[in-house]
Amino acid sequence: MISGDFPAMARQKLQRDVLGGDCVVLYHTGPAGNQSPRHVTRANTFAEAERLGGILADEAGKVIPGIEFRTKLPLCCRSGDVTLPLRSFPSEADAQAKLDRAVAKLCELRTSGAPRTEVRTAEVDWFGAEETLTLARAAGRGLLQQAAAAAMPAEVQVISIGEYNFVAWPGEMFVEFGLAVKSQRPGTFLISYANGELQGYLVTEEAAAEGGYESQNAIFKSPEGGELLVQKTLELLR
């Protein structure tokens, strides 16, 4: 019921075939809030996790022989805090109406035999509509402000090893925010789900306007929240 999923399968294959069992393999998830596996996976099984982990291990295995060993490497660590703005929420009645529409669409797709990926997308939209209703109720009762205060400030952490930078962000970020940093600072790698909890996603302006699952499952404002993290990160990298 609990597993390391495809990263564990990749680690096991790398240790068995390339690195040896004593070598630690570290896996980080980058900004991937809008990178859904449901469009590429064949099933939700251990066999599928092993297939995907094998693909990842094979690609890592190709570059491992070219890694350069160094006896001296500069190390630098920096961090900074950002306070993110709270998003606004619909009325409870509007949130309930959106939930009703999401449930109706899901039922229609299920009964019509729609493709698995379409059904899954409708399912997560349903989850998001449920989240929005819960959050709208909490906002109306003043409870959301307490949750936001408990999650703030958001920490941005930078660890530089030689010419490479590893940036740690909390929460679930859309990939565009990571790409905005990498476009200005090559050799930078973004790590999400780090140093605290944001209670949801930070999404792009387009996603916020679309109102899908990720933008509904959030308490902080987008895209402003993500842009603030990008700005602080570039400041620390400079």
* Domain match, 114 and 180 both: no
Strands (E), the chain: 75-82, 154-161, 164-168, 172-173, 188-191, 201-202
* Domain match, 24 and 9 both: yes
* Domain match, 79 and 172 both: yes
- What predicted TM-score, i.e. pTM, was given to this entire model? 0.84
Note the pLDDT of residue 217.
79
Contact assessment for residue 80 and residue 215, using Cβ atoms and an 8 Å cutoff: no
- How many angstroms separate the CA atoms of 26 and 164, rounded? 16
Name the token pair of 204: 């792009």
Which residue in 229, 226, 176, 173 sits closest to 201, CA to CA?
Answer: 173
Give tens-digit pLDDT for 37-51: 777 888 889 999 999
Residue 128 — pLDDT band, cuts 50, 70, 90? Answer: confident
> Of 101, 118, 147, which residue constitutes the final position of a domain?
147
Residue 20 — pLDDT band, cuts 50, 70, 90? Answer: very high
Domain count, the chain: 3
* Domain match, 142 and 208 both: no
* Domain match, 193 and 223 both: yes
Q: What is the DSSP string of 66-104?
A: GPPP-S---EEEEEEEEPPPBPP---HHHHHHHHHHHHH
* Domain match, 136 and 108 both: yes
Asked if the model's pLDDT at residue 1 lies above 80, the reply is no
* Domain match, 81 and 199 both: yes
Instruction: Identify the domain containing residue 56 by its residue range.
Output: 5-66
Q: What is the DSSP string of 3-22?
A: --HHHHHHHHHHIIIII-TT
* Domain match, 156 and 140 both: no
* Domain match, 83 and 165 both: yes
First to last CA, the chain: 44
* Domain match, 83 and 173 both: yes
* Domain match, 223 and 165 both: yes
* Domain match, 79 and 102 both: no
Residue 76 bridge partners (DSSP): 160
Asked if the model's pLDDT at residue 213 lies above 90, the reply is no
Average pLDDT for 193-200: 84
Average pLDDT for 99-128: 89
Give tens-digit pLDDT for 63-93: 999 999 899 999 999 999 999 999 888 888 9
Lowest mean pLDDT among 50-54, 78-82, 111-115, 174-178: 111-115
